[in-house]
Amino acid sequence: MRLIRLVSLFVAVAGGISLRAQTPTATPPPPQSARQALLEMFLGKGENDFTKHLPEAAHQALIHKGDSPETNVILKISTVGRQLTAQGEHLESFETGPNLLVSEQNASHEKYEIAVEHDTLLGEDDEIELSVHYYKDGQLQSLPVVPRLIFTLRQEKEIWRLTEVTAAVHAPLTDPDYLKGLRKDQNESNETAAQNRVVTVATAETNYAARHPDRGYTCTLATLVAPEPGAQPGESGFVYDPGQGNEEWSGYRFAIAGCDGSPAAKYRITAVPLESDAGMKTFCADESGALKFVTTGKSSSCFSRGQPVNSPPVPAPSED
C-alpha cells in the first residue's frame, strides 16, 4: 500500500496550491517557468489547465470530444492532486526551493517529500527530476527502492508543454546507510513472519492433540501441518503453513521438542534466526499458550525469561 501511495503522490506532483488570479497591472507578468507549468498542469483549477500543457499531437490522439475523467485515463490523472486534497491530505507545494511537494499525516506521524533533484535547461527542453523521501515520527525511513520521475517540458508558443515522462527507480547499493536501513526493514519483516508462523504451529498443536487424544502433541512439523484426510480449509484438520512444513524459512529455523510420553502432554516450539548476529528476535511457545521472545541468549532462555508477545494466547488442550 505504501508503494501505491507513493505513485499517487508522484502523479499529483503538487497539492494544496491555489493559483492566484493575475491582477491587471501596467507591467506584464513574468513568463511562467517550467516548474510552475508542471504545478498548474496537475493542480490548476481551470478546465484546460492540464490539457493546455500537452503537446498538440498527444491532445488530439488521447483526448476526444465528450471525454471526461470518468472515461479517460489522461484526464483522470489531472484530478489526482485535487482528489488527495479533498480527502483531507495536508499538502503544500513550492514554486522554488528543494521540494516540490510536502504531504504530512498528523494522525500517523508520517511525512512525504517530493524533492527536486534537478531542474535543468537542456537546449530547448527543461528537465525536472523528482524523488521521494519518507519520514516516520520525524525520522527519515529507508525505502526498498527510491522512485524517481523525470519530466521533460518544451516551450511552444510561450507555453511549456510536457513532452516526455520517464519513470525510474534508484537503489544506491554502495550507500551504507541505505543498505543498513534496507536490512533493518527485511529483518523486521522476517520477525513478523516468524512470529505469525509460531502462532500458527502452536494453534495446530492444540488442534492436533484434540483430534488425537491417544497421541497428544507431535514434534514432527511435517506431520503437524499435513492436512487430515478429507479436511477442508477453515476446518481444524487443515493447517495453512506458509513455510510448507520446512524447518528453515524466512531467515529462521523452526523446531519442536519435548513431546515425551504417550500421549505427549507437552511441547516446545522455537523460531531461531539462522544468522546469530542478525540482531533479530527469537520466538517460543509451549502448551501453556504463552508466546514469548528474547533478543539475546540461547533459545532455551526464551521460555524462562522471555518477554510476552502482544498477541492472542494459544489455548492449551482440554484434559477432558
**What does the mean pLDDT of the chain come to?**
81
- Proportion of the chain above pLDDT 90, given as a percent: 34
Q: What is the pLDDT of residue 13?
A: 45
The DSSP code sequence of 149-166 is EEEEEEEETTEEEEEEEE
Distance (Å, whole) CA 30 – CA 13: 23
**Nearest one of 309, 191, 200, 212 to 256, comparing CA atoms:** 200
- Residue 284 dihedral angles phi and psi, to the nearest 5°: -155, 155
d(C-alpha 102, C-alpha 88), whole Å:
14
pLDDT number for residue 313: 44
Determine the Cα–Cα distance for residues 315 and 309; give it in Å rounded to an integer: 15
Q: How confident is the model at residue 9 (pLDDT cuts 50, 70, 90)?
A: low
**Cell digits of residue 178:** 541505505
Residue 78 grid cell: 489531472
8 with 101: CB under 8 angstroms?
no
Q: What ranges do the domains of the chain cover?
A: 2-171, 177-308
pLDDT digit string (tens) for 257-309?
999 998 999 999 999 999 888 889 999 999 998 999 998 878 888 998 899 98
Distance CA 133, CA 138 (A): 12
Specify the 3-state DSSP secondary structure of 6.
helix
> CA-to-CA distance for 77 and 92, rounded, in angstroms?
19
Tell me if the bond preceding 308 is cis, omega within 30° of 0.
no
Count of C-beta atoms within a 10 Å radius of residue 187: 17
177-308: CATH architecture: 2-Layer Sandwich (3.30)
Determine the pLDDT at residue 231: 57
- CA–CA distance, 220 with 205 (Å, rounded to integer): 10
DSSP string for 102-114: EEEETTTTEEEEE
41, HSE (Cβ side, Cα atoms, 13 Å): 24
| Residue type (1 letter), 157 | K
14 pLDDT exceeds 60?
no
Q: Residue 291 in 3-state DSSP? A: strand
Q: What pLDDT is recorded for position 224?
A: 85
